[in-house]
Amino acid sequence: MSFRIAPSLLSADFARLGEEVRNVIDAGADWIHFDVMDNHYVPNLTFGPMVCEALRKHAVTKDGARVPIDVHLMVQPVDALALAFAKAGADLISFHPDASAHVDRTLQLIRGAGCQAGLVFNPAQPLDVLEWTIDQLDLVLIMSVNPGFGGQSFIPGALKKTEQVRRLIEKSGRDIRLEVDGGIKVDNIRSVADAGADTFVAGSAIFGQPDYRAVIGAMRERLK
Ligand code: DX5
Ligand code: ZN
């Protein structure tokens, strides 16, 4: 299994975002997780496509390889912003199915714009929609906190949900990433992987420490 660690910029220093992106990539980040909040779908407000576009040139390794920007849309409505993020250089775009009136159409829009598409499930939300969408997905994102804020505690029920999604992905036979987001730390990342996740978002656990490389290294150590 190839694991990916996706630091969430939500806990980065917003006054130095370009530098934070470069530093965390230098420290071993695989993806950059970009949390978009609109003060409507969730009670908080972060950044939009212009910030994503400005950061695109920073999301590269020292050798110049592109590092995927993983946009997590916590917005309603979804479609116009999804397209704006595709134009702004996003690589993956995920949205909450309850925030889109026409989930199938939104998935088509994202993939038609050349991005990978994902659906996000809140802690109390059922997975039913996967039955009709799994063939169009590149990513499933399981929320292990209620969306809106960084630094919350991991909700243990997310493990069972992750196991269920892993089974659905196996059954589909498709190459779909299974990402978990919220409250992931060095001490619990192994249990999230054991439940079937292959991609891990971590905000406060990484940006809350002075040495990003040490935290990401410790996470990888637990994943061995
Ligand atoms: C919550 C966001 C998460 C959050 C994770 O709405 O989607 O990505 O930033 O932060 P931590 O790792 O601090 O829970
Ligand atoms: Zn997120």
Distance 171 CA to ligand 2 centre (A): 26
Residue 173 has pLDDT above 80, yes or no: yes
Q: What is the mean pLDDT of residues 92-102?
A: 98
| pLDDT at position 75 over 90 | yes
Residue 37 is predicted with a pLDDT of 98
CB 169 within 8 A of CB 127: no
Q: How confident is the model at residue 200 (pLDDT cuts 50, 70, 90)?
A: very high
160 — phi, psi (to 5°)? -65, -40
Query: How many domains would you assign to the chain?
Result: 1
Average pLDDT score over residue span 198-205: 98
| pLDDT for residue 166 is more than 80 | yes
Does 151 belong to an annotated binding site? yes
Segment 12-46, tens digit of pLDDT: 999 999 999 999 999 999 999 999 999 999 999 99
Global model pTM greater than 0.90: yes
Instruction: Supply 96's token pair.
Output: 């909450």
User: Does the active-site annotation cover 35?
Assistant: yes
Q: What is the pLDDT of residues 39-72, one digit of tens each?
A: 999 999 999 999 999 999 999 999 999 999 999 9
* Model pLDDT, residue 39: 98
CATH value at residue 9: 3.20.20.70
Q: Which of 8, 42, 155 to mutate to test the pocket of ligand 1 (most atoms within 8 A of CB)?
A: 8
User: Which atom of ligand 1 is found nearest the CA of 147?
Assistant: 6
Q: What is the pLDDT of residue 28?
A: 98
Beta-bridge mates of residue 143: 181
Whether the pLDDT of residue 1 is over 80: the answer is: no
Q: What is the DSSP string of the chain?
A: ---EEEEBGGGS-GGGHHHHHHHHHHTT-SSEEEEEEBSSSSS-B---HHHHHHHHTTSB-TT-PBPPEEEEEE-SS-HHHHHHHHHTT-SEEEE-GGG-S-HHHHHHHHHHTT-EEEEEE-TT---TTHHHHGGG-SEEEEESS-TT-SSPPP-THHHHHHHHHHHHHHHHT---EEEEESS--TTTHHHHHHTT--EEEESHHHHTSS-HHHHHHHHHHHH-
**Annotated catalytic, 181?**
yes
Whole-number Å distance, alpha carbon 35 to ligand 2 midpoint, is 5
Using an 8 Å Cβ cutoff, are 23 and 212 in contact?
yes
Q: Does the annotation list 28 as a binding residue?
A: no
* Residue-number span of the structural domain to which 168 is assigned: 4-223
